[in-house]
């Protein structure tokens, strides 16, 4: 299959480039800047990402351009553009002031294939501290803003293009057009990547890979592991055994509801209530990363104990998706947060790993679920953290705190599902992710009847996003917020105040811990 290689120089928006390319029905692979697959004939183009570094920093990432320049089309974005210029004889200098935010292409060469279909004055998004003051001798300027002369340039001798703005972000209004021009028109993508083609090819690959072997899959209740299970079930049928571990920090009644859903899908599922073990091991723990590690460790122990009962299993399947693998450890070596399903298997399990969704982004997983005929309420489930409500309770974890949060969260999520907005869409379907957070380390004074209360606040969170790499807080209707707040305070013992989180990502994350 044809593919675009995106070489990652450490930019926070590298995954967005990948998402935009996938939206063009074109497979792409994000690789570290120094891991270009030399000799891979399926590569039809290369994109160089942005970076937190300056090209002049001693620790700046560098790549040997001769591996692909002149062989396939190349597009440099931000740092990628500056690196191309610097490596090929241009000049990159520190800008007088950081060029960040909206700008407009006041000059565009509309005859250049990269800008086919563009409008003069098209808005772009800048984010760089250095600027290109001189381009290489065999290049020409094809786009300029008021403050950036060399905003876009192209080689006159090789298929190389470079832009100092970010076409992958929402604020570059014709960014998708630019990427389509590069990926489809310049690189010649046949646009073969689709949910249907993925299902057909993956089922065939799973049949060949697994043969008559038995596979164990750990289910979480989320869309990723659910789609992985249905995909595997389509490939190997009853040779798949699913294990669903209840760590006690799921949403209210979720264990029973999800088990019923899985059985309706024809899956062979074993349900395990291990909440007592998880609560015991989490007692007194307040650090978010430690919570994640304890839950990850306990999950493996419980899962391992159940898996050992299936003596003929040879494979462990996981619902790991592409962002899990990229985000757990980026190329700068900095862990953003632990993912409990990334990082290897217990050696004593002696199982091989099967990850049928490892190349997919979240919205692609949902498209595959629809292609497989899964019920919509499973496909549209909001993302939910593997550690569950443990990372939505600030402070230590107790069954009583979980009960409080489950009750508040249930009122909130049911309200989102029931409230139909003016356009006929439910609020639940309009937001990417929502949930309640218990500020158990804080108490606030309130009055109920004629009595003083001293109880916990609950913060409500709802964000809009397309890929979770960036997110904005959802502007929920005031009448909805008033109704939910009133219901939580009246019905949930232990809560006397409701707040709403209006932080975006970045700088905040979607989850509080």
Catalytic residues: 78, 166, 168
Number of Cβ within a 10 Å radius of residue 501: 16
Q: Cβ(357)–Cβ(201) under 8 Å? A: no
- DSSP code at position 222: S
**Which of 381, 512, 403 shows the shortest CA–CA distance to 459?**
512
Strands (E), 145-299: 152-155, 160-163, 214-219, 240-246, 269-273
Distance CA 378, CA 299 (A): 23
What b-and-e string marks burial along 283-310, b requiring 16 or more CB atoms within 10 Å of the CB?
eebeebeebbebbbebbbebbeebbeee
Dihedral, CA atoms, 372, 375, 379, 381, nearest 10 degrees?
-160
- DSSP code at position 114: G
Distance CA 258, CA 221 (A): 6
**Which of 73, 96, 409 shows the shortest CA–CA distance to 251?**
409
Residues in the chain: 513
* Helix runs in 310-354, H state only: 322-328
Pairing of strands 444-448, 451-464: antiparallel
């Amino acid at each position: 299959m044809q593919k675009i290689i995106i070489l990652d120089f450490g930019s926070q928006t590298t995954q967005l480039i990948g998402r935009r390319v996938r939206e063009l029905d074109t497979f792409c692979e994000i690789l570290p800047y120094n891991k270009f697959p030399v000799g891979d004939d399926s590569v039809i183009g290369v994109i160089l990402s942005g970076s937190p570094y300056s090209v002049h920093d001693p620790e700046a990432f560098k790549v040997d351009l001769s591996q692909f320049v002149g062989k396939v089309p190349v597009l440099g974005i931000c740092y990628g553009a500056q690196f191309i210029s610097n490596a090929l004889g241009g000049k990159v200098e520190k800008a007088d002031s950081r060029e960040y935010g909206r700008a407009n292409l006041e000059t565009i060469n509309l005859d250049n294939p990269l800008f086919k279909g563009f409008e003069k004055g098209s808005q772009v998004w800048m984010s760089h501290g250095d600027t290109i003051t001189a381009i290489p001798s065999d290049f020409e300027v094809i786009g300029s803003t008021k403050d950036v002369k060399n905003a876009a340039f192209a080689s006159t001798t090789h298929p190389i293009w470079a832009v100092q703005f970010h076409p992958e972000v929402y604020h570059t209004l014709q960014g998708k057009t630019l990427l389509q021009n590069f990926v489809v028109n310049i690189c010649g993508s046949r646009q073969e990547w689709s949910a249907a083609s993925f299902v057909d090819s993956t089922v065939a690959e799973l049949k060949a890979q697994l043969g008559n072997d038995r596979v164990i899959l750990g289910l979480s209740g989320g869309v990723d592991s659910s789609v992985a299970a249905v995909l595997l079930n389509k490939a190997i049928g009853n040779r798949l055994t699913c294990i669903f571990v209840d760590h006690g920090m799921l949403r209210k009644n979720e264990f029973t509801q999800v088990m019923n859903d899985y059985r309706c899908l024809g899956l062979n599922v074993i349900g395990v209530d291990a909440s007592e073990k998880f609560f015991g091991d989490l007692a007194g723990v307040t650090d978010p990363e430690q919570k994640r590690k304890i839950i990850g460790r306990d999950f493996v122990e419980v899962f391992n104990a159940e898996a050992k009962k299936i003596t003929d299993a040879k494979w462990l399947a996981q619902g790991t998706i592409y962002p899990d693998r990229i985000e757990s450890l980026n190329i700068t070596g900095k862990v953003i947060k632990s993912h409990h399903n990334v990082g290897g298997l217990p050696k004593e399990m002696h199982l091989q790993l099967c990850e049928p969704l490892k190349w997919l982004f979240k919205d692609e997983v949902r498209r595959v679920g629809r292609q497989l005929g899964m019920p919509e309420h499973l496909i549209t489930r909001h993302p939910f953290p593997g550690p569950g409500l443990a990372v939505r309770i600030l402070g230590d974890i107790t069954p009583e705190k979980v009960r409080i949060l489950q009750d508040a969260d249930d009122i909130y999520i049911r309200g989102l599902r029931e409230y139909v907005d003016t356009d006929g869409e439910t609020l639940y379907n309009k937001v990417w992710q929502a949930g309640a957070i218990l500020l158990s380390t804080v108490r606030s004074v309130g009055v109920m009847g004629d009595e003083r209360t001293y109880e916990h606040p609950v913060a409500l969170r709802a964000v809009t996003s397309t890929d979770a790499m960036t997110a904005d807080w959802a502007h929920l209707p005031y009448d909805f917020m008033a109704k939910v707040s009133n219901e939580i305070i009246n019905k949930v013992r232990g809560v006397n105040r409701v707040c709403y989180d209006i932080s975006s990502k970045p700088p905040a994350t979607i989850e509080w811990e």
